[in-house]
Amino acid sequence: MQQVLGVILGGGQGSRLYPLTKLRAKPAVPLAGKYRLIDVPISNCLNSGISRMYVLTQFLSASLHRHIYQTYKFDTFGGGWVQILAAEQTPAQEGSDWYQGTADAVRKQLNHIRRARASEVLILSGDHLYRMDYGSFIATHRQCEADVSVAVQPVTREAAPALGILKTDKNGRIVEFAEKPKGKALDKMSSGEDPEKPFLASMGIYIFNSRVLQELLSEHSKDDFGKHILPAAIKSRRVHAHTFDGYWEDIGTVRAYYEASLSLALPDPPFDLYDPQYPIYTRPRYLPGTRTDDCHLERVMLADGCLLQDTVITDSVIGLRSIVGPGVRISRSVIMGADFYEDDARRAANQERDIPDVGIGSGSTIERAIVDKNARIGKNVVIRPHPEIIEMVEEKNYVIRDGIVIVPKNSVIPDGTVI
């Protein structure tokens, strides 16, 4: 695996995850109380023996840079690294410094990729939740003598129209690709192998022979791997499929993020963070254990450093340093916690300014919501879902999207507010 280079795409503006991406890059969005989305692909690489990685970023990337720098420090003699490559303007690319798509992002960093002298380049997304042994993927790629390999997953007819669908021959070579096909175009893409999941969907995970990647990006000026580069490669190169039948979720939307997060608190979660063979790594924070007093918790994922008093929490994820006051009721919600604790002096200043302390004030009720970091929820606040609101509604201190109320990072919700 020392000859394989991982390239993780940091994504665009993350508009589908707004307001969680209002102040941060998409891969920096918190996950499961203590992680960030970027920890998933990096951990998959490390667990697969891949220790050289580039992370391509451009939008609001300061917190992502800080997290990676503080988390993934390699031994001086180990030879591994996780390096940020931000969008940059070069003399040859004057006027086009922003990445225009997934392929364009890699194209603009080809000089760095060449210097890594890798035999294969593994292209990954920064907003997927899954656990994969890339070693078996790379073994399939080499055994098939493929130029390009694509990780695919069998999907239902209902899911297929929203995905890129592939068709293979009996040897697993991809012979056709259709982006979000519908009707008759979808019918002809059926593999027929599994009646319940008759279509093969691209997971947006690719292995390219390094030379082939450089050739394809030089030959074709289009910007997206799925829409442009992959269809072109199928016509001129050996492109093979690698079937993955484990849990995989694209959490690039608020609804998908919310549902995937809550699933982590289930007794038998589809994505198990407790697998000792394939841990998910993150930054050590040296926080004390969570302290509870007269609380009732059911199906709750509870991170370190929380203080909970006389509260009822069900089917929720509670993040680092969450402060929850007495009489609070939380159900089916994602509470991201805080970046800091407030001392007595800070709390006295809050009182003078007539703003709530960081955390959730006493007597509040939160149902089916996402509360981002450092939010100040006052006393006797009521936040409930609005399933009738599908389009995004943005107010001063909260956003409703897909019926879910999201309280953005650093927001203040005064005492007695009803949302």
CATH number for the domain that contains residue 217: 3.90.550.10
What SS3 state is found at 150?
strand
Where would I find the H helices in 119-253?
134-143, 183-187, 210-219, 230-236
Is 361 contained in some domain? yes
**Polymer length in residues for the chain:** 419
pLDDT at 89: 54
CATH code of residue 398:
2.160.10.10
- The distance from CA 181 to its chain's CA centroid, rounded to whole angstroms, is 25
Beta bridge partners of 319: none
Q: What is the pLDDT of residues 116-161, one digit of tens each?
A: 999 999 999 999 999 999 999 999 999 999 999 999 999 999 999 9
Using left for φ > 0, alpha for ψ between -120 and 50, and beta otherwise, residue 255 falls in: alpha
**Structural contact between residues 121 and 210, judged by C-beta atoms closer than 8 angstroms:** yes
pLDDT at 77: 66
| CA-CA-CA-CA torsion sign (87, 89, 92, 94) | positive
Same domain, 395 and 345: yes
Task: Give whole-number Cα distances, 211 to 50, 80, 141, in Å.
Answer: 19, 22, 15
Using left for φ > 0, alpha for ψ between -120 and 50, and beta otherwise, residue 95 falls in: left
pLDDT at 119: 97
Residue ranges of the chain whose pLDDT lies below 50: 95
Same domain, 102 and 234: yes
Output the DSSP codes for 355-373.
-PPSEE-TT-EEESEEE-T
Per-residue tokens: 396: 């001063």
CB environment 27-41: b (16+ within 10 A), e (fewer)? bbbbbbbbbbbbbbb
Q: Of 365, 335, 338, 322, which is closest to residue 262 (Cα–Cα)?
A: 335
Using left for φ > 0, alpha for ψ between -120 and 50, and beta otherwise, residue 249 falls in: beta
Is 276 contained in some domain? no
Same domain, 127 and 12: yes
Cα–Cα distance for residue pair 305/303, rounded to 1 Å: 7
Q: How far apart are the first and last CA of the chain?
A: 52
Same domain, 297 and 231: no
Cα–Cα distance for residue pair 98/95, rounded to 1 Å: 9
Is 272 contained in some domain? no
Using left for φ > 0, alpha for ψ between -120 and 50, and beta otherwise, residue 79 falls in: left
Amino acid at 268: D
Per-residue tokens: 11: 């994504």
Same domain, 324 and 243: no
pLDDT at 274: 94
**Structural contact between residues 199 and 190, judged by C-beta atoms closer than 8 angstroms:** yes
Residues 6+ apart with CB under 8 A from 227: 101, 164, 179
Same domain, 13 and 145: yes
Same domain, 256 and 304: no
Is 283 contained in some domain? no
**Structural contact between residues 157 and 197, judged by C-beta atoms closer than 8 angstroms:** no
Cα–Cα distance for residue pair 169/234, rounded to 1 Å: 12
Q: What is the pLDDT of residues 224-270, one digit of tens each?
A: 898 889 999 999 999 999 999 999 999 989 999 999 999 999 999 99
Per-residue tokens: 267: 């007794």
Cα–Cα distance for residue pair 179/8, rounded to 1 Å: 22
Residues 6+ apart with CB under 8 A from 65: 57, 84
Same domain, 298 and 214: no
Per-residue tokens: 53: 């990685």
Task: Give whole-number Cα distances, 338 to 32, 49, 209, 269, in Å.
Answer: 14, 33, 43, 25
The total domain count for the chain is 2
Pairing verdict, β 307-309 and 323-324: parallel
Is 113 contained in some domain? yes
Rounded to whole angstroms, the maximal C-alpha distance in the chain is 72
pLDDT at 14: 76
Is 317 contained in some domain? yes
What SS3 state is found at 174?
strand
Cα–Cα distance for residue pair 47/159, rounded to 1 Å: 30
Is 279 contained in some domain? no
pLDDT at 48: 97
401 is in which domain, residue-wise? 291-413
Is 273 contained in some domain? no
